[in-house]
Amino acid sequence: MDQNLEILKNSSRSLRIISEYGNFSLEISETDFIYAEAADNYCIVYFYKNNIPEKEMIRISLSKLLQQVQTDVIQQTHRSFIVNLSKVIRFKGNSSGYKLSLDNFENELAISRNFISVIVPILKDLTIRP
């Protein structure tokens, strides 16, 4: 694995998520962020708290959430998902679409065609493809 990507995978900075109206905030480390999913005018943020997966529904658009959490390894993969790519344990697919598997989560998340050219090279460096 590239040394820079190893540093990215192990680095931990604090992420602060502030809701649309500023009446709620969530502060977590970058390594504890797992993924976020759009749900109408809300986002469901999945993260680790004391090594236990938790989720929080926050009134914020996915695009505004992305502005607050995007890093080298936390990227938008689909119009409905933002994923911490260092949490991906497997990915599979082809040029028409990829699916991601995350540790401790049964459902697979999509990478849409628009994001393949950015996301797949990062994943190839961070994970082992089956």
pLDDT of residue 44: 97
**Mean of pLDDT values over 52-78:** 95
Residue 100 and residue 91 in contact, taking contact as beta carbons nearer than 8 Å? yes
Average pLDDT, the chain: 87
DSSP assignment string, 60-106: --HHHHHHHH--SSEEEEETTEEEEGGGEEEEEEETTEEEEEETT--
- Give the CATH number, domain containing residue 93: 2.40.50.1020
pLDDT of residue 47: 97
pLDDT of residue 128: 55
- Distance from the Cα of residue 75 to its chain's centroid: 6
- CB neighbourhood size of 44 (10 A): 13
CA distance 94 to 116: 9
Interior/surface letters 7-40, b for 16+ CB within 10 angstroms, e for the rest: ebbeeeeebebbbeeeeeeeebebbbbbbbbbee
pLDDT of residue 93: 86
pLDDT of residue 13: 85
pTM of the predicted model as reported, rounded to 2 decimal places: 0.85
pLDDT over threshold 80, residue 127: no
Number of domains, the chain: 1
Bridge partners (DSSP) of residue 28 are: 15
CA distance 6 to 17: 25
pLDDT of residue 22: 86
Residue 96: domain span = 3-126
pLDDT over threshold 50, residue 8: no
**Mean of pLDDT values over 35-57:** 95
Of the pLDDT bands very low, low, confident and very high (cuts 50, 70, 90), residue 7 is very low
Of the pLDDT bands very low, low, confident and very high (cuts 50, 70, 90), residue 43 is very high
